[in-house]
């Protein structure tokens, strides 16, 4: 199963363990490990919500800012030659490297 679902801005994965006969998942897009499980869909969603709420409560108790998924920035490691070619391409198109990469990702996802 590759369905994702959302709660309070956090997106969770849904998987199934045949061996354990249980649904499980984790919150995507953050470094903290927030996992949950359930015997059925209702239990899975309930535990997902509880896991996110517990995480937010823990951050509040500690006085730390909770991680927010998908802030819109990320690092990409590519070869120096590809980096150079992308900068030249962006310059020739009178745009920024960020705009070029964003357009390329959109085109790839929508293809």
Residue ranges of domains in the chain = 4-62, 80-110
3-state SS assignment for residue 12: strand
Considering only 30-34, 35-39, 71-75, which range has the smallest mean pLDDT? 71-75
Separation CA 64–CA 77 (nearest Å): 29
What are 50-79's pLDDT values in tens digits? 999 999 999 999 999 999 988 888 889 999
Q: Which residues contact 50 (CB under 8 A, 6 or more apart)?
A: 36
> Does residue 4 have a pLDDT over 90?
no
> Is residue 60 exposed (0-12), middle (13-18) or buried (19+ Cβ within 10 Å)?
exposed
CB 48 within 8 A of CB 55: no
> Does residue 38 have a pLDDT over 50?
yes
Taken in order 76, 82, 87, 92, the sign of the CA dihedral is negative
Tell me, yes or no, if the pTM score tops 0.85.
Answer: no
CB 48 within 8 A of CB 12: yes
């Amino acid at each position: 199963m590759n369905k994702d679902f959302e709660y309070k801005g956090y997106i969770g994965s849904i998987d199934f363990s045949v061996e354990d006969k249980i649904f499980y998942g984790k919150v995507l897009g953050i470094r903290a490990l927030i996992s949950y499980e359930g015997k059925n869909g209702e239990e899975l969603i309930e535990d997902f919500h509880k896991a996110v709420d517990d995480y937010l409560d823990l951050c509040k108790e500690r006085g730390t800012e909770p991680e927010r998924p998908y802030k819109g920035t990320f690092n990409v490691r590519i070869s120096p030659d590809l980096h150079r070619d992308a900068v030249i391409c962006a310059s020739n198109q009178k745009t920024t490297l960020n705009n070029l990469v964003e357009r390329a990702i959109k085109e790839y996802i929508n293809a």
